Amino acid sequence: MLSVYNACIQYAVMGMMLVVVGMTLASISITMSDPFAVNVIYGQEEVQIEGNTNTTSASSDSMDDSNVIFKSNLEQILGHLNAALLNKENGNDTLALAHAFHPIAEIYDLIEPTIANTNSTLNQNLSTELTNITDMVRFVSAAQFSDAVQDAKKLLNQTSDQVIPSPLKDNLTFNMKVVIDLLNTAVGEYNEGISNISIAQPVEYQDAQAFISRGIERAKSIFEQESNVIPQNMSETVQGAKVMFSDLDNQILSISSPESVGSTIQGIVGELSKIAGIRETSIEDKSPDLLISNIRSILDQVITAYSNQNYSQAESLATEAYLENYEYIEAPLADLDKSLMETTEVMLREELRQQIQDRVPLEEIQQQIDSIKNNLNDAEKLLAERTNGDD
């Protein structure tokens, strides 16, 4: 399945040279024009996943970050569906197919066990709908494709309603963490999509647009609908975040360097963390070697929890290792060795959690963690060399 997806991407790259020639902003929408009239506008025709924009303050220490990653994965699927639909409406079936295939190829396996455990019928319906969307891209009209996308979005709404615990749906910390995860994921996509200040991978570039758009839309919705929940002393911080949203829009439209985009997103993450009372961790607060040390320690705890058959704790720890630690070294590591960064990300964020959910033998968990640690050793050396070089 992945080989088909990669072929779609390669075909798209070979078949076009994307030149940004005419760009406008509508709210936080992002428009990209190219010689094939691929008009990618995010944020205008989205169906918001229900029940997640009302907010209340809460402690981040008790937050189950596996729910954050689950919700973020749903949002990423929505981003891909938006991109597929808008490319379909503008006559680019190649890019539409690539985006339509991405949820099934790279995301659904991560969320399927949770959905199946909650509602097996819903899981079957959603999986079938996403597969059908991929199959129909080239053979139906834009209107028919739009109907299918809307049906999938309704199922995603139901999935969110049934899987995400009710207390989290109105939780400021939870919702901001989802936004932060979307923005951090967009950094990686943008790094892949842009090379030498030009679009090298159209699909990844549009992925970054989609995730950024969804993240900003969610944050703005929280600011506007629940202003009474956010502490008054955070009003300037909210305004600062909005200014950075605009800056980020402009950077994406002008195809700024990945370093500039990453820096702006890091600033936004800092502001959102303050607003939500999230204990922020960044490269400035903790050095890469300390973050990597944290990951090693947490992975040891995963082994202990798993050997004691405490599977929920093992999964939560694996999530913490990624979300609260590895995510913060992804950008600097990608600058030095993108392949190492991406391989380790998949091993930690996706494969390890999937193994835990599948209740594989302890020996397989140990082997996976040993492989992750080997990669972390290589990452630590590269990051240390960079730090020493900067000095």
Is residue 194 helix, strand or coil?
A: strand
Task: With residue 198 as reference, give the H or E element that holds it.
Answer: strand 198-199
Measured over the CA atoms of residue 131, residue 113, residue 62 and residue 313, the dihedral's sign is negative
Q: Identify the pLDDT of residue 150.
A: 97
More confident residue, 16 or 199: 199
Judged by average pLDDT, the poorest of 55-69, 148-162, 345-359, 377-391 is 55-69
More confident residue, 97 or 314: 97
Q: Identify the pLDDT of residue 280.
A: 52
Q: Identify the pLDDT of residue 115.
A: 95
Q: Identify the pLDDT of residue 337.
A: 92
Cα dihedral 11, 15, 17, 22 in deg (nearest 10): -100
59 closest CA partner among 215, 168, 220: 168
Instruction: Give mean pLDDT, residues 339-347.
Output: 92
Residue 13 has pLDDT above 70, yes or no: no
Is residue 165 helix, strand or coil?
A: coil
Q: Identify the pLDDT of residue 42.
A: 29
Q: Where are the domains of the chain?
A: 2-276, 288-390
Residue 33 has pLDDT above 50, yes or no: no
Q: Identify the pLDDT of residue 32.
A: 33
Spatial separation of the C-alpha atoms in residues 347 and 73, rounded to whole Å: 16
Give the pLDDT confidence of 111-121 residue by residue, as tens digits: 898 999 999 99
42 closest CA partner among 95, 92, 87: 87
More confident residue, 135 or 222: 135
More confident residue, 135 or 191: 135
For the chain, give the mean pLDDT.
80
| pTM for the full predicted model | 0.65
Q: Identify the pLDDT of residue 88.
A: 96
Q: Identify the pLDDT of residue 76.
A: 94
Spatial separation of the C-alpha atoms in residues 257 and 272, rounded to whole Å: 23
pLDDT confidence of 278, banded at 50, 70, 90? confident
Q: Which CATH number fits domain 288-390: 3.30.1300, 2.60.40, 3.10.20, 1.20.120?
A: 1.20.120
Residue 136 has pLDDT above 60, yes or no: yes
Residue 54 has pLDDT above 50, yes or no: no
Q: Identify the pLDDT of residue 279.
A: 62
Q: Identify the pLDDT of residue 286.
A: 65
